């Protein structure tokens, strides 16, 4: 028996890395019977039936997992937003942040296409960068047209399992190609008629990049917040999570309750008004959804 990590899943085979070797494995029938699917990123024990092939015998407990892309035990998600084309959206960014916070994954924000901005747009991006940095997020402004400075961001990848997130066309594949040109990921052109790009990735694989492992997928774009309980939503906003204990009422939803520390912080401009408005929007959407039986 040996231990390793699944770095690729393709056509029913799981490729498990153990030290410097990669073994082609199949999952045991036991997993199918229990409706358990091994995921890229899983730590597993496996039986080597010959020098290069074996069977996965057990999957260790996961720290976290995503559905799209199907991957487990992620350390961080780099959320890629573009300053323009498609236009920057704080609502979309906050949806991604909430989803990632809910999974206990560390978010990092990359804002691309800064070379295409007007003076006013650049000023707005710098202002947003400051807002999110004050919350505690790492935010980098970069150009995907001139990506030669990307190696300066190697510290984000070192010793981490990283997945990318963001809508199509913001430059995720371009960043990965710049970090590791041998990947040759297809970059998705923006569809002007639909306002979104085309999906170009078929399977998930962890690639060695900058002394870490990166999922070579343009990232997940599923933005369903309905899985997050309304009572836990505020915890996905770090600036609210930090002060919620100061609210008068335990279990305060930071909406209509009196003497709410969060609302008071918004009034004092210690919490950005647009972040609070997004919280209320997400809260309303989750409260209004029909219960599933």
CA proximity to 221, closest of 260, 276, 163: 163
Q: How confident is the model at residue 81 (pLDDT cuts 50, 70, 90)?
A: very high
Per-residue confidence (pLDDT) for residue 193, from 0 to 100: 40
Task: Look at 176-180, 201-205, 234-238, 261-265 and tell me which has the smallest mean pLDDT.
Answer: 201-205
- pLDDT tens readout for residues 140-165: 998 866 555 665 777 899 999 999 88
Backbone phi, then psi, for 290, in 5-degree steps? -75, 140
- pLDDT tens readout for residues 21-71: 899 998 877 777 788 889 999 999 998 877 667 899 999 999 999 877 889
Q: Torsion over CA of 242, 246, 252 and 254, rounded to 10 degrees?
A: -70
Per-residue confidence (pLDDT) for residue 191, from 0 to 100: 40
Phi-psi bin for 292: left (phi > 0), alpha (psi -120 to 50), beta?
Answer: beta
Is pLDDT at 136 greater than 80 in this prediction?
A: yes
pTM of the model: 0.86
Residues 6+ apart with CB under 8 A from 208: none
Is pLDDT at 243 greater than 90 in this prediction?
A: yes
Per-residue confidence (pLDDT) for residue 219, from 0 to 100: 62
More confident position, 39 or 216: 39
Q: Which segments of the chain belong to CATH 1.10.40.50?
A: 230-288
Task: Look at 12-16, 134-138, 219-223, 270-274 and tell me which has the smallest mean pLDDT.
Answer: 219-223
CA proximity to 114, closest of 149, 138, 159: 149
Can you name the residues that pair with 165 across neighbouring β-strands? 79, 220
Q: Which segments of the chain belong to CATH 2.40.50.140?
A: 2-61
Tell me if the bond preceding 86 is cis, omega within 30° of 0. yes
Region 66-215: CATH code: 3.40.50.300
Would you identify the CATH topology of the domain 230-288? Ribonucleotide Reductase Protein R1; domain 1 (1.10.40)
Pick the CATH number of 2-61 from 3.30.450.20, 2.40.50.140, 2.40.128.90, 3.40.50.450: 2.40.50.140
Q: How confident is the model at residue 293 (pLDDT cuts 50, 70, 90)?
A: very low
CA distance 187 to 33: 39
Per-residue confidence (pLDDT) for residue 190, from 0 to 100: 40
Mean pLDDT across 86-90? 93
Rg (CA), the chain: 21
CA distance 108 to 112: 13
């Amino acid at each position: 028996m040996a231990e390793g990590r699944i770095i690729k899943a393709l056509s029913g085979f799981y490729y498990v890395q153990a030290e410097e070797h990669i073994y082609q494995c199949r999952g045991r029938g036991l997993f199918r019977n229990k409706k358990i699917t091994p995921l890229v990123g899983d730590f597993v024990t496996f039986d080597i039936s010959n020098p290069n092939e074996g069977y996965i015998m057990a999957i260790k407990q996961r720290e976290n997992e995503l559905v799209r892309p199907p991957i487990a035990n992620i350390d961080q998600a780099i959320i890629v937003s573009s300053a323009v084309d498609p236009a920057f959206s704080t609502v979309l960014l906050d949806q991604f942040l909430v989803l990632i916070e809910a999974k206990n994954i560390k978010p990092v924000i990359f804002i691309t296409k800064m070379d295409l901005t007007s003076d006013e747009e650049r000023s707005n991006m710098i202002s947003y960068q400051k807002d999110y940095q004050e919350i505690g997020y790492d935010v980098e402004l970069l150009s995907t047209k001139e990506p030669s400075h990307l190696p300066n961001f190697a510290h984000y990848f070192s010793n981490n399992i990283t997945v990318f997130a963001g809508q199509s066309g913001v430059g995720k594949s371009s960043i990965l190609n710049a970090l590791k040109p041998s990947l040759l990921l297809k970059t998705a052109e923006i569809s002007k008629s639909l306002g979104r790009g085309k999906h170009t990735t078929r399977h998930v694989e962890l690639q060695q990049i900058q002394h870490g492992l990166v999922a070579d997928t343009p990232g997940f774009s599923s933005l369903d917040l309905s899985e997050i309980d309304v009572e836990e939503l505020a915890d996905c906003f770090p600036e609210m999570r930090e002060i919620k204990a100061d609210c008068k009422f335990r279990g305060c939803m930071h909406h209509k309750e009196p003497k709410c520390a969060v609302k008071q912080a918004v009034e004092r401009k210690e919490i950005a008004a647009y972040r609070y408005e997004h919280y209320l929007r997400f809260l309303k959407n989750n409260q209004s959804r029909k219960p599933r039986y």
